[in-house]
């Protein structure tokens, strides 16, 4: 769906495809500079971060490996339960690796806080977070985001990997419904 058709029919575009791609290029350059001469092990938090991770790894000019993990604290709800469950675990050892966690959105911070503790138990050399979106007004657990795409106010958003009841992940922009 095009941004124009979406805005006429359903809602408003919060962040355009062009804005997303430009910011990802900037993040890729910064990550490449920060890790110059090193390898990175990129962990994609499924399902929402898969598009962001795919574009981000193409913007990073360094040797890297990828892995995937799936966590849930929402289930089918729009509010977090505060309890995190691992639905798909990592496939590779993290010992002595530079880990970059790629997340779609850091909201309350519960899921990311849990994931950080889980990853740190696996003895990586470093752990950093790249998140496409941050909603600091909803934060209940403090989480430091090393590479941030966009900070937004509290709104239900979807598109570019983020879903609305598992749909609309394929929109190339981030949107919300009309008020």
Range(s) of the domain holding residue 83: 26-163
Choosing from 34, 61, 67, 107, the catalytic residue is: 107
Active site residue 107: yes
Confidence (pTM): 0.90
The pLDDT tens digits along the chain (179 residues) read 666 766 655 678 899 999 999 999 999 999 999 999 999 999 999 999 999 999 999 999 999 999 999 998 755 555 555 678 899 999 999 999 999 999 999 999 999 999 999 999 999 999 999 999 999 999 999 999 999 999 999 889 999 999 999 999 999 999 988 66
Asked if residues 24 and 149 have their Cβ atoms less than 8 Å apart, the reply is: yes
The torsion angles phi and psi of 164, rounded to 5 degrees, stand at -125, 95
Residue 57 lies in a domain: yes
The total domain count for the chain is 1
Task: List, in order, residues 6 or more apart from 86 with CB less than 8 Å away.
Answer: 69, 70, 71, 118
Residue 15 lies in a domain: no
E-state strands within the chain:
11-15, 40-46, 64-72, 85-88, 98-106, 126-134, 147-151, 157-158, 174-177
Residue 45 lies in a domain: yes
Residue 40 lies in a domain: yes
Tokens of 45: 């938090």
Residue 171 lies in a domain: no
């Amino acid at each position: 769906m095009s941004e124009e058709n979406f805005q006429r029919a359903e809602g408003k575009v919060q962040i355009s495809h062009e804005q997303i791609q430009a910011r990802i290029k900037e993040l890729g350059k910064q990550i490449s500079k920060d890790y110059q001469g090193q390898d990175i092990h990129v962990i994609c938090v499924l399902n929402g971060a898969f598009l962001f991770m795919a574009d981000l790894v193409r913007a990073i000019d360094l040797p890297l490996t990828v892995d995937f993990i799936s966590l849930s604290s929402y289930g089918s709800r729009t509010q977090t339960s505060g309890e995190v469950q691992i639905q798909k675990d990592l496939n590779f050892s993290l010992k002595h690796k530079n880990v970059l966690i790629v997340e779609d959105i850091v909201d309350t911070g519960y899921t990311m806080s849990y994931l950080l503790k889980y990853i740190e138990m696996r003895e990586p050399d470093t752990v950093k977070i790249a998140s496409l979106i941050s909603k600091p007004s909803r934060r209940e657990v403090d989480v430091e985001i090393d590479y941030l795409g966009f900070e937004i106010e509290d709104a239900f958003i979807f598109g570019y990997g983020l879903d609305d009841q598992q749909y609309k992940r394929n929109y190339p922009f981030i949107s919300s419904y009309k008020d």
